[in-house]
Amino acid sequence: MEKVKAKKHLGQHFLKDESVAQNIADTLSLEGYEDVLEIGPGMGVLTKYLLEKPINTYVIEIDTESVEYLGVHYDKLKDKIISQDFLKYDINEVFKGKQLAIIGNFPYNISTQIVFKVLEYKNQIPEFSGMFQKEVAERICEKKGSKAYGILSVLAQAFYDTEYLFTVSEHVFDPPPKVKSGVMRMRRKEDYSLPCSEKLFFTVVKTAFQQRRKTLRNSLKTLNLSDILREDEVFNLRPEQLSVAQFIELTQKIEADGV
């Protein structure tokens, strides 16, 4: 069968460098799960290294041409190819509440949505690793005070330890993307339950960063906080000045304020 023709609207940039593929597969610790789901396998450059590991490899791919290609070339993937859109897919159709790792050289056009979906399913995903455009991989791992620190950093790091691993040049893809790529890994914290309302935490973080240049006193106005609470010093800060722990504390205070 012919190679798959790259389709721009599906974010298809096929990795050509085998050693990068191997290094991405090796980001998995293989601890705490028996299954791995690869998002967007394309022609299987990363998949083949996953298949060498002592783990059940599943793939989910939106492009039917790639699905056909994988079926022809990888016998070991038989019955493990999910021909669907990851963003619309209910993980439990196949995984039924089990723990699984998620990996990929991801489609960059939906990077943030992939991370948000992982957070939604965090109870089942102890490990998540792979390649994004460099800025997104960095954002996930940045700490307070940095320009890239934002919603993704705080939400991901509230539940996961995140690690930026290595940078990948645009020249090892066909066709080359316009941006550099970065490989990162997220490992779920042993205790990842928050000591505050998770829903409110998400709201506070998102609302604060929607106006990242303003102090919290201004950006969080829409949450109708009491004047007494708004006197608290933390409201003098801008969102990038708060650590994850401080965002959790802030959420606790807002919760106690009775919103």
Extract the annotated binding site for S-adenosyl-L-methionine.
13, 15, 40, 61, 85, 105
Nearer to ligand SAH, 16 or 143 (CB): 16
In whole angstroms, the minimum distance from the beta carbon of 34 to ligand SAH comes to: 22
| 182 forms part of the interface with ligand SAH (CB under 6 A) | no
Binding mask 104-143 for ligand SAH (x = CB under 6 A): -x-x--x---------------------------------
Omega cis (within 30) before 175: yes
Binding mask 24-43 for ligand SAH (x = CB under 6 A): ---------------xxxx-
| 13 forms part of the interface with ligand SAH (CB under 6 A) | yes
| Closest CA relative to residue 151, chosen from 207, 195, 199 | 207
| 65 forms part of the interface with ligand SAH (CB under 6 A) | no
C-alpha span between 88 and 84 (Å, rounded): 8
| Residue numbers belonging to the annotated binding site | 13, 15, 40, 61, 85, 105
Number of residues that bind ligand SAH (CB under 6 A): 23
| 59 forms part of the interface with ligand SAH (CB under 6 A) | no
- Interface residue with ligand SAH, options 18, 34, 85, 120 (CB under 6 A): 85
Whether the Cβ atoms of residue 59 and residue 207 lie closer than 8 Å to each other: no
Give the distance from CA 135 to its chain's centroid: 13
> According to CB under 6 A, which residues from 145 to 164 bind ligand SAH?
none
φ, ψ for residue 128 (rounded to 5)?
-145, 120
| Closest CA relative to residue 104, chosen from 85, 134, 131 | 131
What separation in angstroms does the CA of 101 have from each of 7, 49, 68, 149, 241?
27, 15, 24, 25, 32
β-strands 181-188, 100-105 pairing: unpaired
Which stretches of the chain bind ligand SAH, using CB under 6 A? 10-15, 39-42, 45-46, 60-63, 66, 85-87, 105, 107, 110
